[in-house]
Amino acid sequence: MSPTAEALHIFRKDIRGLWKEICAILFLCAANAAIEITALTPRPDAPSRDQSGTAIFLLIIGVFLVIARVVHAEALPGIRQYWLTRPLRRSSLFCAKLLFLIAFVHAPLALSQIAILVAAGFSPLDYLPGLIWKHILLVLFFDAPALTLAVLTRGLTSFAIAAVVILVSIQGIAQVWKADQLASVAWVGSTLQMILFLAAVASVVILQYRTRSTFRASLIALAGMAVFLFGVGSLVPWNTAWAIQRSLGGEPAAAPSLISTTGQIRDTVPGSQNIEAVFHVVLPQLTGGAVLDRDMLRITLTNDRGGRIVFPTPNIGRSCPTVPGECTFDVSTLLPRAFYEGTDYKARIQYSGEIFLTGYGEPSVETVPESATLTPWRTRDLTCATRSEEGLLCQSPFRWPRDLITLQRGTDPTEMQFNIEQSHSPFPASPGMQALEANSAGFFRSSLGRTTAPGPVRLLRRQPLWHTGVKFDGQIVTQP
């Protein structure tokens, strides 16, 4: 029997043995598509995003179980499996399992995503790169961990225990590393992390199917899981990630010049262990409707006793204009009181830093039709609907656009940003199983729940033009 015929024979055998699991995956894919399509309408009885999240969670569980079941049909660890006595080529066995995952996991999921795009008014061919990249990410974030556990375990019990331990670890470690995310350029570290993790997974799977050396494969898997769990990608220095991002974008004709910078100490809670340091960086406002937006602020503090603290933060307040022609970027952080105060004196603190900025061009403006409260409104790569509890809810195929998208209402010049951290990733899709990435922006309601500026809602889009950095330094002053 040829290798191809042998692989197809194993594939057909798996279909007969796992037809119930196949039906379950097909049902979950269809249910998820039905919920997503129904949720496109702004009707009050439309499914909420919580319901969609539940369907996605069940689908993820189903994918993990199917991968475990199909691999465990010819379990690799141990010496008592019946298939070891048969003249099966390991390469044929491996190809049969991959064919099963493509046919009964990725193909149904891709069809459901295509159905969602069509229902939302998008052409699937226009977003084919996004669909392909989405499934590459699915292989990395869902198939790879499940396949690694499956080739190292003998049954569902050991597989489930290991999966639960890893999922709990991911949740716990994600909270620890959350503050160190690189925000808009996080894709640089994530790409490095995915490459390292994929190399580890490929080594484990190939080693198991070629030599069934479970001990050595387990050591490699532990190294790969450490890369995945402990966020090795977040160790990429900000300067390195930003340099890569700048190489992919344009350079400003004239970099913004620093107008002024101030640093202050506020002892808001006397006697506490920490004090508050506040920094203001003032830059010129761009002309013609263009916008200067912040990505990260990195500050180094040194005192006259040789102490040094470095902190990066993506959480920067922006106010444009506070004074006509100026933009002020604000950030505050807590410092140990011992860094500032001695037993009989207050230390002099010098600061130096760099603010990383993106320049966006003049906006294109579209008015959201009043009919968006009844039927979704399609504009370019967005489909939007007005929902009373969320304001304007917009969805985009496979990832949120790189453009800076804001809302204005009536005569109010204030721009409300969507509830998302801007990403400069060049890839056409983001991780996750959703075909549409949704985000919302409010309608400037007052504390009484009334709209502060009645009138038509306008959607403003600005394309990113360039990335740059502006350095600054100074001495902190004390504010009572």
Q: In this structure, which amino acid lies at residue 61? A: I
Q: Tokens at residue 300, please?
A: 């180094």
Residue 130 DSSP SS3: helix
Angle between helices 144-152 and 156-177 (to 10 degrees): 140
Please list the rounded mean pLDDT of every run of 10 residues in the chain (480 residues).
87 92 93 87 60 82 92 80 71 90 94 94 93 92 87 87 73 46 74 84 88 85 75 72 82 74 79 82 80 82 83 62 70 81 70 86 87 80 78 89 86 78 87 86 51 72 88 74
> Residue 290, Cβ neighbours under 10 Å: how many?
14
Is-contact 298 354, C-beta < 8 A?
A: yes
**459 DSSP 8-state letter:** E
pLDDT of residue 313: 66
The token duo for 400 is 């949120």
Residues 6+ apart with CB under 8 A from 453: 409, 410, 411, 412, 414, 444
CB 326 within 8 A of CB 396: no
Question: What was the pLDDT predicted at 414?
Answer: 77
Angle 128-138/107-119 helices, nearest 10 degrees?
A: 140
Do 108 and 26 touch, CB atoms closer than 8 A?
A: yes
Q: Where are the beta strands (DSSP E) in 259-363?
A: 260-266, 274-284, 291-303, 308-313, 317-319, 326-336, 349-360
Q: How far is CA 400 from CA 37, 55, 179, 358, 445, in A?
A: 18, 21, 22, 17, 25
Polymer length in residues for the chain: 480
Closest CA to 356 of 412, 433, 297: 297
State how far the Cα of 238 lies from the Cα of 62, in Å rounded to an integer: 38
In the chain, where the domains are located: 3-236, 260-359+468-479, 364-462
Taking the C-alpha atoms of residue 465 and residue 294, their distance in angstroms, rounded to an integer, is 14
- Give the count of beta carbons closer than 10 Å to the beta carbon of residue 375: 13
Parallel/antiparallel/unpaired status of strands 308-313 and 291-303 = antiparallel
Q: Which helix (H) or strand (E) holds 379?
A: strand 377-379
- Multiple choice CATH, 260-359+468-479, 1.10.10.60, 1.10.357.10, 2.60.40.10, 3.30.420.40: 2.60.40.10
Residue 456 tokens read as 């038509």
pLDDT (0 to 100) of residue 27: 94
Question: Can you give the pTM of this predicted structure?
Answer: 0.83
DSSP letter assigned to residue 285 = P
H or E element in which residue 474 lies: strand 464-475
3-state secondary structure of 249: coil
Angstrom distance (rounded) from CA 286 to CA 296: 19
pLDDT of residue 44: 57
pLDDT tens readout for residues 260-278: 888 888 777 777 888 888 8
Q: Please compute Rg for the chain using Cα positions.
A: 27
Please give the backbone phi and psi of residue 406, each rounded to the nearest 5 degrees, phi first: -135, 170
Beta carbons of 459 and 401 less than 8 angstroms apart: no
HSE, side-chain direction, 13 A CA sphere, residue 229:
17
